[in-house]
Structure 1
Amino acid sequence: MNFDKAHAVYIQYHLDKRMGERRGRLKRGHREAEKLFCHNIWWPLLGNFDHLHPEFEILDWRGLSYFCDFVWLTQGVKLVIEIKGFGPHVRDMDRKKYCNELNRETFLKYKKA
């Protein structure tokens, strides 16, 4: 199976399993940068999307949701992958968004599985 077909099946599989905000977040959040990561990095390395979850929701210590671009969950590995685009992570930031992003990154860095 080529990348385009495999990627379409991968995204549709996750859309079919989700409802509400989790589904909406995947529709809105998986865009060009995330697809480029899949195409240029993930697919050449592994050739499949097994155990890779797009727009994965994690709750912080306050019960607030954070969505990670990708989480790779296997028996022995739990890895968060974030794609940092210029627009949402630099150009469109104000102080509050910047503070929230720092809190989010700190939480994800020290999150125990």
Structure 2
Amino acid sequence: MNYEQAHEAFIEQHLASRTGERRGRLERGHRHAERLFLQNVWWPLRGDFNDLHPEYEVLDWQRQTYFADFAFLPGPIKLLFEIKGYAAHVRDMDRLKYCNELNREIFSVRNGLPSNFICLR
């Protein structure tokens, strides 16, 4: 199976198992930067999407929901990936979005959730 086929099956599998906002986030959130990450980083390294979860829901210390771009959950390991696209994380950012972004990063670090931030343009 090539990347395009595997990616389509990966997204369809996750869409089929979700409802409500979890499904909506995947439909709206899986964009250009996330696809570049999967195609140029994840797929060449792993060759599959096993144990990878797109738009993974996390509750912060204020019980606010946010969605990490990806979570890699191969058993006891929990690794969150945040893809920093230029538009959403720089060009279109206002004060509230900036505060929410800092909150996400601090929460991840504070709670021992390894989080890798990757900037793709």
2:83 match: secondary structure: coil
Partners of 2:62 and 2:21 lie apart in 1 by 18
Instruction: Name 2:51's counterpart in structure 1.
Output: 51
| Structure 1 unmatched ranges of 5 or more | none
Q: RMSD between aligned alpha carbons?
A: 1.1
Instruction: Name 1:74's counterpart in structure 2.
Output: 74
Bigger fraction of residues in helix: 1
Higher mean Cα deviation, 71-80 or 50-59? 71-80
Q: For each residue in 1:1-56, what CA deviation from the matched residue of structure 2 results, as whole angstroms up to 9, or x when unmatched?
A: 00000000000000000000000000000011111110000000010000000000
Partners of 2:35 and 2:96 lie apart in 1 by 28
Instruction: Name 2:92's counterpart in structure 1.
Output: 92
Instruction: Name 1:31's counterpart in structure 2.
Output: 31
Higher mean Cα deviation, 103-112 or 51-60? 103-112
Q: For each residue in 1:44-93, what CA deviation from the matched residue of structure 2 results, as whole angstroms up to 9, or x when unmatched?
A: 00100000000000011221101000000012421011100111101111
Runs of 4+ in 1 over 4 A off after TM superposition: none
Partners of 1:19 and 1:82 lie apart in 2 by 22
Bigger fraction of residues in strand: 2
Provide TM-score, normalisation by structure 1. Answer: 0.95
Partners of 1:110 and 1:47 lie apart in 2 by 32
2:75 match: secondary structure: coil
| Structure 2 unmatched ranges of 5 or more | 114-121
Partners of 2:108 and 2:32 lie apart in 1 by 23
Shift of 1:110: 2.2
Provide TM-score, normalisation by structure 2. Answer: 0.89
Identical counterparts, % of pairs: 58
Relative contact order: is structure 1 or structure 2 higher (C-alpha 8 Å, sep ≥ 6)? 2
